[in-house]
Amino acid sequence: SKLAALFRHPLYNIPIPEVTEKDKLFVVNPLEKFSLHSSGSDEWVSSSKAETLLPTGKTAYDTYPAWLKFHVGINRYELYPRRDPLMPTLLRDLATQRIVSSVQKSGGTQLKLIMTFPNYGQALFKPMKQTRDQETPIDFFYFSDFERHNAEIAAFHLDRILDFRRIPPVSGRLVNITKEIRDITTDKKLAKTFFISPAGNVCFYGECSYYCSTEHALCGKPDRLEGSMAALLPDKTLAKRRSWRSPWRRSYHKSKKAEWELNPNYCAQVRETPPYDRGHRLLDLIDMTVLDFLMGNMDRHHYETFEKFGNDTFLLHLDNGRGFGTHSRDELSILAPLRQCCSIKKSTYLRLQLLATQPYRLSDLLREALATDPLAPVLAEPHLRALDRRLGKVLAAVGRCLAR
Q: Where do the structural domains in the chain lie, given as residue ranges?
A: 241-403
299 is catalytic: yes
Contact between 162 and 345 under an 8 Å Cβ cutoff? The reply is no
What percentage of residues in the chain have a pLDDT greater than 70? 93
Binding residues: 110, 126, 147, 230-233, 304, 319
The span from the CA of 390 to the CA of 396, in Å, is 10
Binding residues for ATP: 110, 126, 147, 230-233, 304, 319
The span from the CA of 348 to the CA of 275, in Å, is 21
Q: Report the pLDDT value the prediction gives residue 43, as an integer from 0 to 100.
A: 45
Q: Report the pLDDT value the prediction gives residue 51, as an integer from 0 to 100.
A: 47
Contact between 30 and 61 under an 8 Å Cβ cutoff? The reply is yes
Q: Report the pLDDT value the prediction gives residue 280, as an integer from 0 to 100.
A: 98
Catalytic residue (choose from 292, 299, 364, 373): 299
Q: What's the residue count for the chain?
A: 404
Binding residues for Mn(2+): 147, 319
The span from the CA of 191 to the CA of 206, in Å, is 8
Is residue 273 classed as helix, strand or coil in its secondary structure?
Answer: coil
Kindly tell me if the per-residue pLDDT of 71 is higher than 60.
yes
Kindly tell me if the per-residue pLDDT of 50 is higher than 60.
no
Distance from chain centroid for Cα 142: 19
Kindly tell me if the per-residue pLDDT of 396 is higher than 90.
yes
Kindly tell me if the per-residue pLDDT of 253 is higher than 90.
no
Task: Tell me the torsion sign for CA atoms 385, 390, 395, 400.
Answer: positive
Edge-to-edge strand list for the sheet holding 202-204: 195-196, 202-204, 218-219
Q: Please provide the average confidence, as pLDDT, over all residues in the chain.
A: 92
The span from the CA of 49 to the CA of 223, in Å, is 46
Kindly tell me if the per-residue pLDDT of 345 is higher than 80.
yes
Q: Report the pLDDT value the prediction gives residue 55, as an integer from 0 to 100.
A: 61
Q: What is the mean pLDDT of residues 232-251?
A: 96
Neighbours of 126 (CB within 10 A): 28
Q: What is the mean pLDDT of residues 385-391?
A: 99
Would the pTM count as exceeding 0.85?
Answer: yes
